[in-house]
Amino acid sequence: MENVNETGNTEKPDLKKILLENIENLEEKKSSMYFFVMDTKGNATAGMANIYKHVKTLIELGYNAKILHEKTEFTSVESWLGKEYSELPHVSIEEQQLKVKADDFVFIPEIFANVMEQTSKLPCKRIVISQAYDYALEMLMPGKKWSDYGITECITTTEKQSEHLKDLMSGNLQTHVIPVSIPKYFKPYEKPKKPIIAINTRDQRDTVKIFKTFYLKYPHLKWVTFRDMRGMSMKNFAQNLSECCVSVWVDDVSGFGTFPIESMKCNIPVLGKVPNMVPEWMEDKNGLWTHDFNSIPDILANYIQAWLEDSSPEELYEKMGEMNNKYNDEQQKEKILEVYQKVVDNRVNEFKSQLETLQPVNN
Amino acid sequence: MDNTTVILPIHRLNEKEKDYFANAIKSVSIQKTETTPKILIVVANEELKKEVESFEFDEKLKFKVLVNDGESDFCSQINFGVKNIDTKWFSILEVDDEYSAIWFKQVEEYIKHYKDVEVFLPLVLDVSPEGNFLHFTNEPVWAPEFSDKMGFLDNDSLLNYPNFQTSGAVYNKETFLSVGGFKSGIKLHFTYEFLLRMTYYDKTIMTIPKLGYKKTNMREDSLFYGYYNEGSEKIRIDEAKWWFNQAKKECYFKQDRGITYEEEITQ
């Protein structure tokens, strides 16, 4: 690489100076951290909410974090995440002024293998954020792995996903785990719970199948309402969830299981189909777990009957209570600081190694 | 539940009804509350009073037996009972029915959280005389869009769907009296008329979504069985309809206007 100076003479760039500047930027938290997100068009997703949470926390910790989106036009998250998140710094790839430097970072969700490929020539450090392991292969070309695009670090939400991704991507993938945190406004309803079933399924057809079967098989319970939890703002979601007497969760490819934890924080028992990757928090007795999708309406009817008789199993509530001290903002904040500082330190070390190669060797 | 009295009206006690009666009283004694509600048994005559007093009740129950010298129909017995209680709340227990053990614990909880509610209806488990499940009653208020506010009964929804059960419910005594109590002049659908009147006068009625009361339906020797089946007491369909329509008209009046059925002449 050569630069042209004011007099028109070409000169070698001062690599040492550049490397020292990069190190300084990183150490002084001046480097940009871009978090690539898709435009969900105002639809709430737990994964997107978690990325915004990372950005907000990093800014609070003094880092220069920003949301990065593709098009200039981007649907604000204000309607479902609130102003405190929609007002975080946003930049778009389309904007001319976006320049990425070697000491910057771009964090890319696992699904966007195409972005990993397109950005492989950028000088910055690129890191995958993987919250839904099942999407990791979605856009990846057959036979390709992330390291083929120069990506060797990944942040994920559970140890199990971490192991899975290491196994899948092989080679030298370095993983960091930052568990999801559940906001404090997921808390028990202040009044007695209502005969409403909160339902959250990855495939909406599963929601329809469950409630139609339930009403067909148990017509005497047709007055019990199912509340589909899609399309609500986060706080509204939490409020609506907290009123319910039970929640139903079906998500075979869940990587973490945010919805059941949110339910438990609201002191609501969860009836869930065990996902392909069993969540780390899942225990025999902290929910009503089944491997059989077709049994959900029956288990639900039994639970509702017990709830109407005020004879829900106490052990279930005790076990759920153990979740109160887990997955909170404070713990996540600590982990965010630890992991992102490690990511920065790794990058500093990379520059320092390069710096060492420039030093004259004394014999 | 010191602030609640259970009113149990009795106008006769045959052998079968004695068993029912013992069961009904037991359902008060097994409540999962720190203290059990008081019990007021309203009887039709002195003989019945002696008979009732001869029963051996659970020692912890605080009960008294009063004779109503006036009319001995259900509405009159209840109105008489309400005037003779000293608690803020009361509930009606029919002799062949029973509370679930959790009912008054639930009521305590709901009174704490829903301070504006003046009547708490239970989710009623309707059973056959053999004890088989028939259906629930009072539950529709929790169905989506049944009423303006989920869980609460309002006048409009009641006009469209009349099937609500008042026995087992817990009433605020003052509210009950302020709207005029039950109307003994209304032979059929008097509880419907009462609920219409309550909602017309903006009283707040809520169903607690917990199984609070088990009701035995259509016991062969019950008054209502006689109304609906062949025999001297049977009420014709057009008379039943007349009372139903009359309930909708009478609910605007707090006082019992003493209406009587006038058979319409049809050709």
- What's the ipTM? 0.91
Tell me, what CATH number does A28's domain have?
A: 3.40.50.2000
Question: With contact defined as beta carbons under 8 Å apart, do A36 and A109 qualify?
Answer: yes
- Do A67 and A149 lie in one domain? The reply is yes
Query: How far is Cα A347 from Cα A328, in angstroms, rounded to an integer?
Result: 29
Query: How far is Cα A169 from Cα B21, in angstroms, rounded to an integer?
Result: 74
Helices (H), A93-202: 113-118, 159-169
Judged by CB atoms closer than 8 Å, whether chains meet at A308 and B123 is answered as: yes
On whether any CB of chain A is under 8 Å from the CB of B226, the answer is no
On whether any CB of chain B is under 8 Å from the CB of A223, the answer is yes
A153: in domain: yes
- Do A160 and A206 lie in one domain? The reply is no
- Look up the pTM and report it: 0.89
User: pLDDT truncated to tens, each residue of chain A (363 aa)?
Assistant: 344 455 555 556 788 999 999 999 999 999 999 999 999 998 888 899 999 999 999 999 999 999 999 999 999 999 999 999 999 999 998 876 678 999 999 999 999 999 999 999 999 999 999 998 989 998 999 999 999 999 999 999 999 999 999 999 976 899 999 999 999 999 999 999 999 999 999 999 999 999 999 999 999 999 999 999 988 888 999 999 999 999 999 999 998 999 999 999 999 999 999 999 999 999 999 999 999 999 999 999 999 999 999 999 999 999 999 998 899 999 999 999 999 999 999 999 999 999 988 866 554
Chain A's closest residue to B109, CA to CA, is A192
- Do A337 and A199 lie in one domain? The reply is no
Q: Which amino acid is at A70?
A: E
Q: How many domains does chain A have?
A: 2
Nearest to B177 by CA among B90, B247, B110: B90
Domain containing A160 equals 3-181+330-358
Query: How far is Cα A151 from Cα A235, in angstroms, rounded to an integer?
Result: 36
Query: What is the number of other CB atoms lying within 10 angstroms of the CB of residue B150?
Result: 17
A78: in domain: yes
Supply the DSSP symbol for B98: E
- Do A247 and A275 lie in one domain? The reply is yes
A205: in domain: yes
Query: How far is Cα A157 from Cα A146, in angstroms, rounded to an integer?
Result: 18
Apex A211 CA angle, A205 and A212, nearest 5: 85
Query: How far is Cα A86 from Cα B16, in angstroms, rounded to an integer?
Result: 71
Nearest to A146 by CA among A135, A253, A37: A135
- Do A16 and A158 lie in one domain? The reply is yes
A248: in domain: yes
Chain A's closest residue to B126, CA to CA, is A220
Question: With contact defined as beta carbons under 8 Å apart, do B17 and B49 qualify?
Answer: no
Write down all domains in chain B, each with its CATH number in brackets: 4-250 (3.90.550.10)
On whether any CB of chain A is under 8 Å from the CB of B112, the answer is no
- Do A339 and A243 lie in one domain? The reply is no
- Do A174 and A257 lie in one domain? The reply is no
> Which residues from A are below 8 Å from B138, CB to CB?
none
Looking at residue B206, what is its pLDDT? 97
